[in-house]
Amino acid sequence: MSDNVYAVSKVVGTSKTSIEDAIHNAIATASKTLKNLDWFEVTETRGLIDDDKVAYYQVALELGFRYEK
């Protein structure tokens, strides 16, 4: 195991299409600001129902990013 130090940031991604797209959207957006992203953990999954159908998927993630040495 390496001797890296990590910070964790919580983000929420959304998508009209799928949970997977919500995850990809969250990581793609966060990676524009956060560098050295190494891992993610899905901590919550929610959705919005509209007219008896799934309208949005919402996924909370914890992103681990490594501090530079």
CATH number, domain of 55, equals 3.30.1660.10
Q: How many structural domains comprise the chain?
A: 1
CA distance to 1, 5, 18, 23, 51, per residue, from 54 (Å): 42, 39, 10, 17, 8
Residue 12 belongs to some domain of the structure = yes
pLDDT value at residue 11: 98
How many helices and strands, by DSSP H and E, does the chain display? 1, 3
Shortest CA distance to 24 belongs to which of 3, 40, 8, 35?
A: 40
Residue 59 belongs to some domain of the structure = yes
Q: In terms of residue numbers, what domain contains 30?
A: 6-66
pLDDT value at residue 20: 98
Residue 1 belongs to some domain of the structure = no
Say if residue 1's pLDDT is above 60.
no
